[in-house]
Amino acid sequence: MKKSIFLIVVLSISSLLLAQRRTAPPSAAVAGARVSQDAAANAPDTTTCSFAYSSGTGVNRTDYCLSVNGNIVQFSRPAGNEYIAVGTIDEGYGICDITGGSVRYSDYAWTATPNWGATSVFFPNAATAKFIRTTTDGIWTLTQTITRVNASGTGPGAAKVSMAIKNNSVAREIFVVRHADVDAGGVLSNNFDQSQDAAFGNQNFFDGLALTDNTFAFPDHYAATWNIFSGPDPCNFNVNRLSAPATGVDGSIGHLWHLVVPAGATKTLVSTYKPY
């Protein structure tokens, strides 16, 4: 079904609806607070905006909102100028377990594989949300730590995403994807490009959202863009992947990592969403 069916025609109305359904973390994100019961009720997939974060003022105000499963389901700068919560909301992560026979574990907010357990959510401090979930086969535990980077007089705010992937089994080779459908300025068709360490989508001469890699311990890493909005198959991520800059595409951005996780070990991948 084409994404445009879901687009609310008037962007200001869309922004108003988003504002109405946002909720702050419990107890103003008091350290140690948790909402595992809410997460369990929403697993394995949801696009509901549950935990809202904001920094900056005026033209530099940056807002984003998280689902109970650690998806960024809304991102705007300034207020009302949306990048993600337009049409089909797609942001999230995928793991391909090559050793296990290309078993897929993914959650892109609007759709997810059914092999994730419920998520426990914690708030170490007012700027940070931590999401912990284990796959139903018990092999993988994913701990996401999403931290607000405050806007300042010299730049917009950002959302720093850390994915700690623990292997509860024998040594395994995996692919990992982080992905977002970008609709900068509330417009479905954007321009897309990438460098080695960053992927970005923008509206002509105006708004853009980038995802930058902050992890350099794994040399087999690539920024990526796609000419579709839906999250890629983590075991076949080259399908619909762009090999050159593209204009006027309902596309998406992301990062790809290839690594081996020893038995009982944890590997951490960090990237940052930031307007530009």
pLDDT in tens, 77-106: 998 899 999 999 999 999 999 999 999 999
According to the 3-state scheme, what is the secondary structure of 229-263? CCCCCCCCCCCCECCCCEEEECCEEEEEEEEEECC
What would the mean pLDDT of 210-220 be, rounded to a whole number?
Answer: 92
39-53, 120-134, 144-158, 193-207: least confident range: 39-53
Q: 58 is written with which tokens?
A: 């005026």
> What per-residue confidence (pLDDT) applies to 172?
98
Question: How much of the chain exceeds pLDDT 90, in percent?
Answer: 78
Tell me how far apart the alpha carbons of residues 211 and 81 are, in angstroms, rounded to a whole number: 18
What would the mean pLDDT of 118-124 be, rounded to a whole number?
Answer: 96
Other beta carbons within 10 angstroms of residue 120's beta carbon come to 18
Tell me how far apart the alpha carbons of residues 259 and 188 are, in angstroms, rounded to a whole number: 33
Spell out the domains of the chain, with CATH numbers in brackets: 3-275 (2.70.98.40)
